[in-house]
Chain A
């Protein structure tokens, strides 16, 4: 655009000045209208407009000695060099031009800075601009895939890239602390967790809001603040606060309910529809955080221990939080064993847990697959989720018995050690609660006493029975059948593990039955049930510890 400069420096059309003989193009005389100085976007109108060719801008050695043609990056360096040539005094002086403020335009015609009224005031600036906008990106960060045309940009980025990373509960990564803090403050994950904590006043020691956030915050200073599953009692950082909070819960149960029967697959986001996956049933046990990531993991039958730890921690955390699925699960355990140090107000949590399981679209909320593992030990199908889902709702109604004093972790470990039976009872109870909706289950409950369930188991069964009626899954039935047999009179619960152990040689068998039943997949459950039932009968007799 043609603008009129009001002073003569550029209006006279004098050639632009360059400090060396480099080729350059002269900007045609342009002028800018009279404007106040320092108006944003308008450079000083008194300044001299200099247009340099792309070659000049990109050249690294702009300053060339006229005597030997050696190139230098800086003018001062060139001058120093020239001294060495022993020039006569006359030639030694630079041509004296008073120093005028110079602004530079970009040679690229389509660029906004091509216009003198939009010139940039700094030579380095225009060079960088040219490289960035119109140049080739020669510098690439090796950690991420970002490319840069200017070396200093690249350096600045490499300093930052991956050096400090903050991770929010919801999984988003930040490289800057202030963005992390701001996000964290408003993150849904925190909100849900806090709301849940407020509603579930847990007698546990941890501060309600601390569980997940504490885990996160503590890890902030670390390069990776990813919450780690800890087995300590109070805040194992279950990852994204389980979504089940009072507000969401009302909506969730229906979903989980729906999810359970139809999908009968892992509660986790539905993708893991693998029928044979016990892990689904383990979902409730899992700590929410990891669930979303590893549906496949559920399928694997991992060794009990790690899973135990995971789940126990999750359970613990959940119980301490009094929120989310883990707590639900914890309550499961708690109810069954005196040792479990779970908190009473589990039903909501359990429900939540169930819900989490049942809700595919909240992967974050689902327990990590790690916790699934222990369950998956025994349970091989992922139908559990459905059952849990439904059960979850029921769970609400059910008031778990007073919690044992042991922490969930301890319980799990103990269960693992005990290898059997006893713990299952509590699990069953939990299951029972969940499945309260299944009518068939109810029948099963009746059958339970027949099933040689010890008195405790009976109570468990009763508990389960409560749940059973609600559940429409035959699987639950199976579960009931399976579990009593597996679970001995023992009250220790880290049931799932115990369950797995109890099953002994073929944890998968028994558990699968259990799981299938839990999953509520009718077919699978039925099959599993029969399978499990058979197994159980054989096994459970042996378990009497």
Chain B
């Protein structure tokens, strides 16, 4: 670690910066095992929790197409899926506080047949990971409401779950899992106030990885049962399937960071997170404040992946292929993205630095940086879905 310390620098080139974050994570981990005097990196919230305003967050998600890629692909797929419906209900599970929806609202507002009425439901609980906001989610919903009114789209915003749970940090391991279970219990048509004539859209954006994945009892293989209670993650997916959504879009980071061995996790994590660091390097100056903030958020993630274990390690990322398989097991089948969507995404990427690319893997769209996979986007419908004619190919 001493060597690393010499190499690492938070203002050096991308590798150095990345290394510095890893070092912090390692130190934090070590300090838990044998408490040292390094109290600056305490056990729980190591990195300073930085709160952003909504406008700052709006700029943040657009620094690099990391998030915007997922938004674009998902919104395009959603738009296609809800064509012909007069009511749309979006169940939004994401960590970026509804930054995805203005463009969808905008697209819906411009529909030739007129906009549908839109309802967005978010859970009140959200893993305490960056990006963090300095306002409540109700405030975010309020702003979305203003915008919708401005674009003349009938809009409604709901928060489900215990609203006081927002203030609970994930440090308490039990409460973390409990929050998800609570959320799970609310995923029924009654609590969600589902209606028959509305198109239900479920959006998982950087979310599934936070669902606890421990399998209690039984074998490790997940079976294609309706209510497999072996893992919270699977239960969640099953529950969603039971709600009969019109479309489920899943966007997450394409990297397998769920391994049990620390060293393999470290290596994979380093190689993977090098991508955003490198991307930021290409177009932001070394001392740009935004860039440092973005990197520190990634550092927070690293810290959790490397520095924590057990229930405290909430970042349990699966690669795109693994996630896809799991979703399939929960009773969904994937639908491809249509050409229009692909074109839109390509156009989006063209407006960014030229290192960003896109490729298709089966029905997944994958964002690439210099050829390396970064973020994947997929779309699904439930097997029991009798939405005939759901055809994203136009």
In whole Å, how far is B198's beta carbon from the nearest beta carbon of chain A?
A: 22
Q: A190 contacts which of B61, B147, B372 (Cβ < 8 Å)? A: B147
Q: Which of A160, A170, A181 contacts B351 (CB 8 A)?
A: A160
B57 contacts which chain A residues (CB < 8 A)? 186
Proximity bits, A180-197, B CB within 8 Å = 1, else 0: 011111111011011100
Tell me, yes or no, whether B35 is within 8 Å of chain A by CB.
no
Q: Chain A: which residue is nearest B12 at the CB level?
A: A110
Contact of A181 among B102, B272, B374 (CB under 8 A): B102
Query: Considering only CB atoms, which chain A residue lies closest to B107 in the complex?
Result: A181
For chain B, what secondary structure do more than half of its interface residues adopt (helix, strand, loop), or is it mixed? helix
Assess whether B192 is interfacial by the CB under 8 Å rule.
no
| Chain A 202-227 per-residue mask, 1 if CB under 8 angstroms from chain B, else 0 | 00000101100110010000000000
The closest CB in chain A to the CB of B374 belongs to A40
Contact with A along B133-162 (1 / 0, CB 8 A): 000000010111111011110000000000
A194 to B106, CA, bound (A): 17
Q: How far is the CA of A179 from the CA of B67 in the complex (A)?
A: 12
Known interface pairs A40-B271, A41-B272. Does A181 touch B370 (Cβ–Cβ under 8 Å)?
no
From residue B178, how far is it (CB to closest CB) to chain A in Å?
31
- Nearest-neighbour CB distance to chain B for A104, whole angstroms, equals 12
A80 at the interface (CB under 8 A from B): no
With a CB–CB cut-off of 8 A, which chain A residues contact B59?
Answer: 179, 183
Given A41-B272, A41-B372, A213-B150, CB of A182 within 8 Å of CB of B58: yes
User: B32: which A residues are within 8 A, CB to CB?
Assistant: none
**Beta-carbon contact of B150 and A181 below 8 Å:** no
Distance of A116 Cα from B114 Cα, bound (Å): 55
Contact B354 A156, beta carbon cutoff 8 Å: yes
Residues of A296-335 at the interface with B, using a CB-CB cut-off of 8 Å, are: none
> A40 touching B68 by the CB < 8 A rule?
no
Q: Which residues of A contact B61 (CB under 8 A)?
A: 182
- Is B272 touching A40 in the complex (CB atoms < 8 A)? yes
Nearest-Cβ distance from residue B167 to partner chain A, whole angstroms:
22
CB contacts (< 8 Å) of A65 on chain B: these are none
- B342-357 to A contact mask, C-beta < 8 Å, 1/0: 0000001011011000
- Checking A125, A160, A183, A209 against B55 with a beta-carbon cut-off of 8 angstroms, the contacting residue is A183
Residues from chain A with Cβ under 8 Å of B274 in the complex: 41, 112
Q: Are A121 and B72 in contact (CB under 8 A)?
A: no
Q: How far, in Å, is B309 (CB) from chain A's closest CB?
A: 23
Contact residues, B249-288 vs A (CB, 8 A): 254-255, 268, 270-272, 274-275, 278, 282
A-B contact count (CB 8 A): 112
Cβ of A6 to closest chain B Cβ, rounded Å: 16
A129–B353 alpha-carbon span in the complex (Å)? 12
A122 within 8 A of B: yes
Is A182 a contact of B146 with CB atoms below 8 Å?
Answer: no
- Chain A, 45-80, contact with B by CB distance < 8 Å: what is the 0/1 string? 000000000000000000000000000000000000
Known contacts A42-B271, A120-B371; is-contact A112 B278 (Cβ 8 Å): yes
Other-chain contact of B103, A170, A182, A213 (Cβ < 8 Å): A182
- Give complex CA distance A112, B281 in Å: 12
Closest residue on chain B to residue A42 by CB atoms: B271
B391 interface contact, C-beta 8 A: no
Is the C-beta of B99 less than 8 angstroms from some C-beta in chain A?
yes
Q: Which residues of B contact A110 (CB under 8 A)?
A: 13
- The 25 sampled A-B contact pairs (Cβ below 8 Å) are A40-B373, A41-B271, A41-B275, A112-B14, A112-B15, A150-B354, A175-B351, A178-B72, A178-B348, A179-B68, A182-B102, A184-B102, A184-B147, A185-B146, A185-B147, A186-B57, A186-B58, A186-B102, A186-B140, A186-B144, A190-B143, A194-B149, A209-B146, A209-B149, A217-B150
